Structure 1
Amino acid sequence: MTMEKILWQQVQLVKQKSPLVHNITNYVVMNNTANALLAVGASPIMAHARSEIKEMIGIAHSVVINIGTLDEYWSESMLLAAETAHSVNKPWVLDPVGAGATSFRDQVLQQLLQYQPSVIRGNASEIIALAKANTTVTKGVDSTAQSNDAVHAAQILMQHYHSTVCISGETDIIISPQQSFFIKNGHPLMTKVTGLGCSATALTGAFIGSVEDKTLGVAAAMALIGIAGELAVQQSKGPGSLQVNLIDKLYNITEEEFIQNLKIEQK
């Protein structure tokens, strides 16, 4: 079976299993993130109250932790969620938004990493900062480095924390001990819509909560949002309509559209 068809199978598995994804994410993107999850067939929960985290994780298929709008209360909730997910062997994704920007973020991230996220997904600057591979400075949540520059940093993170690492960029690079993928889907206009990276992280959570091979799941999630973005751009007048059209395309993308547009290299 071709890799295109294998990844399409992962997309269908999410629809069939409708995984419950517990998100502790930033409030800038909650609505878009929840809609993206619904569009691919998953069920989102947006909950950060410490009193219910353990119960939520008990019923969820996966956990997504995104530190975008970090504060002291949310950081404690995130740490409890990561600890709980790790202790019950529940797959979880870490999105290290703004890693390297402040000492507070870096401190929280170092604590979160101790609970070995199943997947770490961020842009090149964030991955480099997370691994402390060099002194690259993060420009807010936008990347100041190319995804290729972060490959060494991703390998360090993979080895230290036994995580699959996804570097987002013009080429999305997914690195795990077993295999690596390079996906060249997407469109520059997608960078003008806030939180599409956060949506990609949430979709990653849905996929690793549904499929056996977590690396294939990450690749399928990144391929899906990249292809959907490309196709949505064709009928969009700007970032506003792209945001709406992308959700629609995540919902109604066909096997033919997915397979014909996928640009992937496996190593």
Structure 2
Amino acid sequence: MTDADKVIRDITAIRESSPVILSITNYVVTNTTANALLAIGASPIMSHAVEEMTEIVAISGGVVINLGTVAPEYLAAMDPAWKAADEAGVPVVLDPVGAGASMLRTVTPLALLESHKPFIIRGNASEIMTIAGDAGSAARGVDSSAGTDSAVSAARALAQKHACAVAVSGEADLVVDAGGAKARVLGGSALMPRVTGLGCTATAICAAFAAVNKNPFEAALNACVTMKVAGELAAAKSNGPGTLQLYFYDALYNMTGQDVADHIKLVR
């Protein structure tokens, strides 16, 4: 089975099973990520009500813990949701948005990781380097000031420490796991960073793939490939970031095995 075959296999599984994905995510990207999940075939629930976390996790195929909004009511839901996911065996994808930009954004993912095991950690290079303890990392708000090449050691250290896959988003995405596997995913579009929330969307797509593929490295890698292919297909039709976002949803919804085979760019 080729890499492209594995990607479309998982996309087909998502479309056929429509896994529920619970997203505790930031208010800026709620609509964006929910629409992307719907487009690929998943069923999003966007909630941070602590009172319902156990019940919602019980019907979920994957959980997103996204630290883009660090307001108290969002933070309060994260530990109970992750605890319920641990108990139910539901994969959790952590996105340490803005780690390094403030003390709160730095200590919160570290505290969660002390108590829980992630399936995938996804972030930009600065975020990954920060939570791995790299003193040389520096965040520019929630954007990265570093490239994925500089995050290889940090990503490997995180993957080994937490026995998970780590996906680092950038011009070339990097995916590693605890066993030493490594791949880079090229492609996409230079317009993608001009659309708010596509990084957070990648995290949600990782959770959708995690719901149907119990290999964290494969789930993260296939999600990253899907994002890059969708971005490339969308860019071919768009005139700027506004239309890119619209065509991006269409690309997720209509993606075929031939699309993946024609546009996949993997370096192992």
* Same fold by TM-score greater than 0.5: yes
Give the TM-score normalised by structure 1: 0.97
The answer for unaligned runs of 5 or more in structure 1 is: none
Aligned partner of 2:61 in structure 1 is: 61
Q: How does 1:1-267 map to 2 (within 5 A)?
A: 1-114=1-114, 115-178=116-179, 179-266=181-268
Once the two structures are superposed, what CA deviation does each residue of 1:4-25 show, in whole Å capped at 9, x if it has no partner? 2122211211111111100000
* 3-state SS, counterpart of residue 28 of structure 1: coil
Give the TM-score normalised by structure 2: 0.96
- Displacement of 1:87: 2.7
- Displacement of 1:214: 2.4
- Displacement of 1:71: 1.1
Partners of 2:54 and 2:214 lie apart in 1 by: 24
Once the two structures are superposed, what CA deviation does each residue of 1:156-212 show, in whole Å capped at 9, x if it has no partner? 111111121001111111101342221102111000000001111001001101123
Q: Which amino acid aligns with 1:141?
A: V
The answer for unaligned runs of 5 or more in structure 2 is: none
* 3-state SS, counterpart of residue 64 of structure 2: strand
Partners of 1:162 and 1:216 lie apart in 2 by: 14
- Displacement of 1:88: 2.5
**Matched positions, count:** 266
Q: Which amino acid aligns with 2:10?
A: Q
Instruction: Judge conservation of contact 1:8–1:259 (CA < 8 Å) in 2.
Output: no
Range moving further from structure 2, 64-73 or 191-200:
64-73
| RMSD between superposed Cα atoms in Å | 1.1
Partners of 1:228 and 1:49 lie apart in 2 by: 32
- Displacement of 1:105: 1.4
- Displacement of 1:154: 0.8
